[in-house]
Chains A and B, each alone.
Chain A
Amino acid sequence: MAYAIEIKDLKKRYDNGFEALKGVDLTVEQGDFFALLGPNGAGKSTTIGILCSLVNKSAGSVRIFGVDIDQDFAKAKLHLGVVPQEFNFNVFETVFNVVVTQAGFYGIPLELAKERAEKYLKQLDLWDKKDTQSRMLSGGMKRRLMIARALIHEPKVLILDEPTAGVDIELRRSMWEFIKELNEQGTTIILTTHYLEEAEQLCRNIAIINSGEIVENTSVKALLKTLSSETFVLDLDHSLSNVELDGYEMNLVGDGSSIEVAVMKGQNLNDVFNYLNQLNVKVVSMRNKSNRLEELFVKLIKGSK
């Protein structure tokens, strides 16, 4: 079975000499929920730009559902739906026309285009705005409009470039519910995001790109297993003036009513709870100091420099 996306030795050098991609190899399986992560300027948008023909590659090969973009880009594009980071629709067109017009570019007959536009605008809660000029929509609505537009030709792969940037929490959650449903129905999802907890919760596989090179490409589970230590914050029922437990890195936070504990591989939190029990202190609540994927991400990016 062909991969949804198969990238081999992909290179991109811009006219100003900047080498954005230095030989990227990447595969995304069909039906995957895949995260492409990296700091700003790492090469994520360039990679996505090449996939959807907004950027010309300098070298390498790209296959989308087995179709080489150098052989038949038009056919490859049929499999791909893209939700870019920046709003890129005609702001003077109505919501309905933005979606129906996009269908026309894929050769979809007008009646079918109208049916699908109604279906996706309803699913994304935009149907009551169908006759509104798209420039009048809120940021979240514009984002959903771009998702509806990307789905109008019912692609097998949906690429979402920072889809939740600047979107409020409620809308972000409802968007992810929608995207998860799409994925469950068989659509391959490729996502770039700066919200790493989203990637951790949603994605099965992950690639981290830095300075134009893939520094990690594995499953989220496998990646999290490599985490050598995890820092927890424990909120206590009363303040302490000093904490010390052999083998554990432990610090008081603020007025002493919270502690930070670094738990290395092979250690466990029971030791910490026993220690606090001896001090007659109860743990009221507990959380990770930072997202686990975030810790790994920072390590990998630093390590690749």
Chain B
Amino acid sequence: MSSSEIWIAFYTILRREIRRFMRIWPQTLLPPAITMTLYFAIFGNLIGSRIGEMGGFSYMQFIVPGLIMMSVITNSYSNVASSFFSAKFQHSVQELLVSPTPNWVILLGYVLGGVARGLFVGAIVTVLSLFFTHMHLHNLLLTVLIVFLTSVMFSLGGFVNALYARSFDDVSIVPTFILTPLTYLGGVFYSISLLPELWQGVSMLNPVLYMVNAFRYGILGVSDIDVTWALFIIAAFIIALFYIGLSLLNRGRGIRS
């Protein structure tokens, strides 16, 4: 395929992915908006007013970056995982497999589709947060870079999950039993400086901690970790997951006999 044909194939996948999550917005866009509004109202307003300051900011201001990041992570991941698994389940993935579209374009198309939903939901949550607190922005470029790369990383994770999944249960296991605990324990609601030294060390093994803190640094200018490390870790995960995803796709794991 020529470069223009490859671009058309990529754009077709991306457009279809965006059309999918927009078509089913009550399942994809509305739930995170409601959930995050409840988080802002209960944790931020009601409980947060009694907690006081954290990292030099009101508790509401402190949790906003974490909650935005949480919604970006879960939506990027679940968009690709459920979309690609559904395509496998109803065999419509064969439409792509019989076409000359290169595997790396298929991977990129689905991943960018996940990024589109992750960032769209992130934008909705950001707008909602403005009803509860004013937005502070320390470093726009870093904020955008971190949220984009994190979304790419978890979209890739969702793709690998979908390739391995044999049932809808397999698609929900990782978000429920791995992603949610890692996110909740990844400094969304607290600074790890509040934890005993042992648990601070354990928390440092959680990759989500780096992303949440780097994003918080971009917005508020405070972080529990070194932002350079965060960028390094995200980049390493992206490279590894892209390699794994593409290798599995080339081998036809879960999609070719």
Measured CB to CB, the residues of A under 8 A from B are 14, 46, 49, 52-56, 73-75, 77-78, 80, 82, 84, 86-93, 97, 101-102, 104-110, 149
Q: A53-B98, A107-B1, A107-B5 are known contacts. Are A92 and B23 too (CB-CB below 8 A)? A: yes
Is B12 among interface residues, defined by CB-CB distance under 8 A?
A: yes
Which 6 A-B pairs have CB atoms at the shortest separation, nearest pair first? Answer: A107-B5, A104-B12, A105-B99, A74-B100, A88-B91, A90-B92
Is B2 among interface residues, defined by CB-CB distance under 8 A?
A: yes
The A interface, classified by DSSP as helix, strand, loop or mixed, is: loop
- In the complex, per-residue mask of B105-132: 1 if CB is within 8 Å of any chain A CB, else 0: 0000000000000000000000000000
Tell whether, in the assembled complex, residue B95 and residue A88 are in contact, meaning their CB atoms are under 8 Å apart.
Answer: yes
Q: How far is the CA of A86 from the CA of B1 in the complex (A)?
A: 28
Complex contacts, B1 vs chain A, CB 8 Å = 74, 107
- What residue in chain A is nearest B90 (Cβ atoms)? A91
- What residue in chain A is nearest B94 (Cβ atoms)? A88
Is B8 among interface residues, defined by CB-CB distance under 8 A?
A: yes
Q: How far is the CA of A54 from the CA of B255 in the complex (A)?
A: 8
Complex contacts, B8 vs chain A, CB 8 Å = 104, 107-110
- In the complex, per-residue mask of B72-109: 1 if CB is within 8 Å of any chain A CB, else 0: 00000000000000010011101111111110000000
Q: A104-B8, A105-B9 are known contacts. Are A14 and B257 too (CB-CB below 8 A)? A: yes
Of B92, B94, B100, which one neighbours A77 at CB under 8 angstroms?
Answer: B100
In the assembled complex, the CB of A172 is this many whole angstroms from the nearest CB of chain B, namely 23
Complex contacts, A55 vs chain B, CB 8 Å = 256-257
Tell whether, in the assembled complex, residue A77 and residue B252 are in contact, meaning their CB atoms are under 8 Å apart.
Answer: no
Of A53, A84, A106, which one neighbours B5 at CB under 8 angstroms?
Answer: A106
Tell whether, in the assembled complex, residue B90 and residue A88 are in contact, meaning their CB atoms are under 8 Å apart.
Answer: yes
In the assembled complex, the CB of A190 is this many whole angstroms from the nearest CB of chain B, namely 14
- In the complex, per-residue mask of B1-34: 1 if CB is within 8 Å of any chain A CB, else 0: 1101110110111011001100100000000000
Tell whether, in the assembled complex, residue A54 and residue B98 are in contact, meaning their CB atoms are under 8 Å apart.
Answer: yes
Of A56, A75, A89, which one neighbours B252 at CB under 8 angstroms?
Answer: A56
Given contacts A54-B94, A90-B92, A105-B12, 14 further A-B contacts (CB under 8 A): A14-B257, A49-B257, A53-B98, A54-B98, A73-B100, A77-B100, A78-B100, A93-B16, A104-B15, A105-B9, A105-B13, A105-B101, A107-B4, A107-B100
Q: How far is the CA of A91 from the CA of B87 in the complex (A)?
A: 10
- What residue in chain B is nearest A104 (Cβ atoms)? B12
Tell whether, in the assembled complex, residue A77 and residue B95 are in contact, meaning their CB atoms are under 8 Å apart.
Answer: no
13 A-B contacts, Cβ less than 8 Å apart?
A52-B98, A53-B256, A54-B97, A55-B256, A80-B98, A88-B92, A90-B87, A104-B12, A104-B15, A105-B99, A105-B101, A106-B101, A109-B8
